[in-house]
Structure 1
Amino acid sequence: MKIIASIIVVLLLLSGGALWFLAGGSLNDYIKTQIETVGTEITEQAVTVKAVDIKITSGAGSILGINLANPKTYSQPNAFALGEMTLDINLESLTSSPIIIDAIVIKSPQAFVEFTQTGGSNIQDLLDAIERNTPKSDTAATTEEPVNDGDEPRIKVSKIVLVGTALTLDLSAFGNKEHSATLPDIILNNVGGDAGLPASQLGSEIAKQALSHIWKQAKATQKQKLIDSAKDKLKEKAKKKLTDLFG
């Protein structure tokens, strides 16, 4: 029973839940509610989940159809969406600290990035909200000594992979247009550090790191698209000038 309870704790970490018990009802429904409730509090935008399918006996499971709404000042309905998140729990670590998740794989992620004329974006607004609403913690802790956080377990994730994020980049604020691209796989290693992170804070840390990587790649894509657009305009002007000169 202790092992089952520990697995439940690990499964709840993605929602950042601080409750380590089930008050009756379905485990899947409980986790779904926690992800939506805590995710909304941290990002200040609506978080919805289609379904949760947890296989306790094998220490694995999946979370399906997670959507993160856009701040209301932007046109796209969502800032981020994913088809499926799967996790692989290291069962041997359940009796030690930190508890280890060997891998989280995020399949079919979609990011909708909208820039403003001042250089801001919906992703930056979400990162700012996460920073405001996340308790300060020793996220970079690397000591091998366990840290005392009361009864709350500490968790580390060895690897998180966002597979081929589909990026929609809206540059209309710069007189440009909407672009589509597929980002290289995003790999996050050793999330939580060697000492792990309090389970109630790990969900927001994962969101922050994932969105930060998407934001970095989106800015690089933005720069290249604007450069390409400027080159195309110069080519059109040169072509028009030659036509005017030589007919």
Structure 2
Amino acid sequence: MKIIASIIVVLLLLSGGALWFLANGSLNDYIKNQIETVGTQVTEQSVTVKAVDIKLTSGAGSILGVNLANPKTYSQPNAFALEEITLDINLESLTSSPIIIDAIVIKSPQAFVQFTQTGGSNIQDILDAIERNAPKADANSADKTSADEPKIKVSKIILAGTALTLDLSAFGNKEHSATLPDITLNNVGGDTGLPASQLGSEIVKQALSKIWQQAKATQKKQLTDDVKEKLKEKAKKKLTDLFG
């Protein structure tokens, strides 16, 4: 079960506005703390990060070893895990609005997707939590948000080589592994960008939705293939019984 932790990285990276926070030279620690703290609040599950290395002077950065725990009702310890996320920051945009991240590449993310008998899953539970907890834009808070947080847009987000493990044991089946086609999200935040606290959640929702769609398609194909295989075996047995 491997696939989406990547997104959570971005969610928490951006949610605290950490890209421009340089106080006391603690940018990396600040981002790590924001990823873990805000990620846990938004997803309602524990989020941990091994290390952050942002180099604003060269417009580059990486986030390493991100894990998102599974809801306790599921058997796998983690819902998502990833080794590395790299960022390409547009340096010229740091003094303007919106701040632009040219590209975020999430390398070989892993997702552990477990379905329930009712058709739900751990991913759907996490998406529901994000919907409940993500910051919402409204008329009363718009001015304050704009004043407190620079806006950010991400030109391109690539989830490369997402490894999916699909647990279908709830259907009397088993675990299956697959590598999903690369997923690309374009112009996240729109032309004007979004406040960092809102953009992170938007990235997560878009990416998880894409992965959820592919996971459901994989589930349907796998169950259909298994049914066909069982029918073939049943037909073979009948022929053997009839003709020996």
* TM-score, reference length from structure 1: 0.87
3-state SS, counterpart of residue 159 of structure 1: strand
| CA-CA distance at 1:26 after TM superposition | 3.1
Alignment correspondent of 1:184: 181
- Show the 5 A alignment for 1:1-247: 14-17=13-16, 21=21, 24=24, 26-137=26-137, 149-247=146-244
Q: Give, in angstroms, the shift of residue 22 of structure 1.
A: 5.5
Q: Given that residues 52 and 63 in structure 1 are in contact (C-alpha distance below 8 angstroms), is that contact kept between their aligned partners in structure 2? A: yes
Q: How far off its partner does 1:63 sit?
A: 0.1
Distance in 2, Cα, partners of 1:13 & 1:152: 15
C-alpha spacing 1:13/1:231, structure 2 compared with 1 (3 Å): closer
The one-letter code of the counterpart of 1:68 is L
Post-superposition offset of 1:114: 0.4
Q: Name the SS of the counterpart of 2:147 in structure 1.
A: coil
Partner of 1:7: none
How much does 1:246 deviate? 1.5
TM superposition shift of 1:13:
6.7
Distance of aligned partners of 1:79 and 1:53 in 2 relative to their CA distance in 1, 3 Å threshold: same
User: Which amino acid is the alignment partner of residue 14 of structure 1?
Assistant: L
In the aligned structure 2, how far is the partner of 1:150 from the partner of 1:44? 28
What is the rounded CA distance, in whole Å, between the counterparts of 1:27 and 1:90 in structure 2? Answer: 17
2:136/2:198 contact within 8 Å kept = no
Give the structure 2 partner of residue 143 of structure 1: none
Q: Which runs of 5+ in 2 are unaligned?
A: 1-9, 139-143
Number of aligned residue pairs: give it. 230
Q: RMSD value over aligned CA atoms?
A: 2.1
Equivalent residues of 1:47, 1:69 under 8 A apart: yes
Stretches of structure 1 lacking an aligned partner (at least 5 in a row): 1-10, 139-146
Greater share of helix residues, 1 or 2?
Answer: 2
Higher RCO, 1 vs 2 (CA within 8 Å, ≥6 residues apart) = 2
2:3 aligned partner: none
